[in-house]
Structure 1
């Protein structure tokens, strides 16, 4: 991402990115803001909760386009029981499609606001999950930065 230089001619803003933060239970995550087309409220999650595969937990139509739902809570916190959902879950509809042309939406518990972060502050992830870009601190909380392209590639298999 290219950012304008500061008035003194340095590239102080060149290492900045804008992310959208969101929560799954008590854990915070983020994704590039330009990867998200919209955030929609979800009223009834019973069909999503009943899906066998959290990577393909159903589908919805947004602006006449089919969106495949990924239940991120169940992806990151697989348990034998159904997750305790937020009272107001949201679907982050992503802008990109996978190599097959499918669009995705991530079911999350809560969507926060956008934040501008310094990319130099991103620490490498201590996990083998290829869809985790890294870790950073936002407003005093640990946040995991997700790579939406890798998530698409992983979920399409």
Structure 2
């Protein structure tokens, strides 16, 4: 497993896809994402008992198991404000039941190319194993998520 300061085996440039959850910006390796869809009705996911397993949706002929990231990452002390039309990041990997993994997010931006050596450890340290670290992209602090850790 790669360390927080060097998430990849080399320092070759990596393309990441940036996205938003409330006021925070995140990214994930772009090559891990198969597609991005708009979600017209997220009510069943928004009310699921477990945001880490917020149900599934059909995309074409494929089933996508959804993680409701705005709720999963929100502290229990604050209410998560829902956006009108969230986006669903669908990843290239599937679970044991051949369902794709998907993350419900507030908004998706564009891809950016970054240097893995720019990644710094987060202040949270080992408390958030799904976070590789953070870096600055276009003047904004961006948290790099480890999709493999989130998918389990």
* TM bucket, shorter chain: 0.7 to 0.9
User: Within 2, Cα distance between the matches of 1:80 and 1:56?
Assistant: 21
Q: Flag the structure with more relative contact order, 1 or 2, with Cα contacts below 8 A and sequence separation at least 6.
A: 2
Q: Normalising to structure 2: TM-score of the pair?
A: 0.85
Q: Specify every segment of 5 or more residues in structure 2 that has no aligned partner in the other structure, as ranges.
A: 1-9
Segments of 5+ residues of structure 1 without an aligned counterpart are 1-12
- Show the counterpart of 2:38: 41
Question: How far did 1:100 drift?
Answer: 5.7
The structure with the largest alpha-carbon Rg is 1
Residue of structure 1 in register with 2:25 after alignment: 28
SS in 2 for 1:47: helix
Distance 2:79 2:120 in 1: 32
Contact 2:11 2:116 in 1 (8 A): no
Q: Which residue of 2 aligns with 1:65?
A: 62
The CA RMSD over aligned residues, in Å, is 1.8
2:80 aligned partner = 83
Is this contact kept in 2: 1:19–1:116, CA < 8 A?
A: yes
Provide the aligned length of Structure 1 versus Structure 2. 141
State the Cα distance separating 1:99 from its structure 2 match: 5.4
1:1-157 → structure 2 map (5 Å cutoff): 15-79=12-76, 83-98=80-95, 101-127=98-124, 128-153=127-152
